[in-house]
Structure 1
Amino acid sequence: MNIQKFTQKSVEAINDCEKLAYEYGNQEIEQEHLLVALLRQEDGLIPKLIEKMEIQKEHFVDNAERHLAARVKVSGGQVYVGQDLNKVLVHAEDEAKAMGDEYVSVEHLFLCLIKYPNKAMKEIFKEYGITRERFLQALSTVRGNQRVVSDNPEATYDTLEK
């Protein structure tokens, strides 16, 4: 995994995972941390796409945070990236390449959460009917045919929407 190939928002979300682990008292950083980090991003693409899929964002965020709060709590010790989250991070580069993108953006991370879900992600995505096809359809309305060729593509997406 080459972090230089991740967009600013992707790196921000990954860094926020560690903060969330400390906030929730988790030693293992997992997919739920990434989902909540992506959903909490101000002016982030993922919250916009959740709304584009006609999912009530506040309810979705609350549900994701409940799953995060249900994770095992451990005080002290080092935090580490769990196996399921690592799989998402590693395969996100493949997802970006498959879409013709030069950088790993938040949509690639989210697509990998859909493609390689742990038990909690399966439950959340099933409850809200989130599938790869539905997500890609929402993404195409925001992104169009643009490729991710910089580390800040969200600024370009915002311009497209206006």
Structure 2
Amino acid sequence: MNINNFTIKSQEVIQMAQQLAQEMQHPQIENEHLFKALSEIDENVLPFILKKLNVNLPMVEQILTKELESTPKVSGGELQF
């Protein structure tokens, strides 16, 4: 995967997801990392769409946090997609 083929915002989301996975000692970047990074990078797009769909944002964030916390942790090794 060549990250230079992505838009600037997409690169920021991928980098934040990678940072999040590393901070939480997860062995690979999962959809949950990308979703959380996307919601934090641009507060206008994802929350706007979810509000239009009548999604309970605090509930989604709570479930997302719980999923990330339940992901197995590892120390050392390389981070994978």
Q: Give the TM interval when normalised to the shorter protein.
A: 0.7 to 0.9
CA change 1:70–1:53 in 2 (3 A) is same
Gaps of 5+ in 2: none
| 1:126-145 correspondence runs (5 A) | none
Higher relative contact order (CA 8 A, sep 6+): 2
Partner of 1:51: 51
TM-score by length of 2: 0.82
Partner of 1:138: none
Partner of 2:13: 13
TM-score by length of 1: 0.45
- Decide which structure has the larger Cα Rg and report it: 1
In structure 2, distance between residues paired with 1:8 and 1:44: 16
Q: What RMSD over aligned residues (CA atoms) do the two structures have, in Å?
A: 1.7
Gaps of 5+ in 1: 82-162
Q: Which amino acid aligns with 2:30?
A: E
Shift of the alpha carbon at 1:44? 4.0
Partner of 1:27: 27
Partner of 2:3: 3
In structure 1, distance between residues paired with 2:9 and 2:44: 8
How many percent identity over aligned positions? 33
Q: Residue 38 of structure 1 contacts residue 44 of structure 1 at CA under 8 Å; is this kept in 2?
A: no
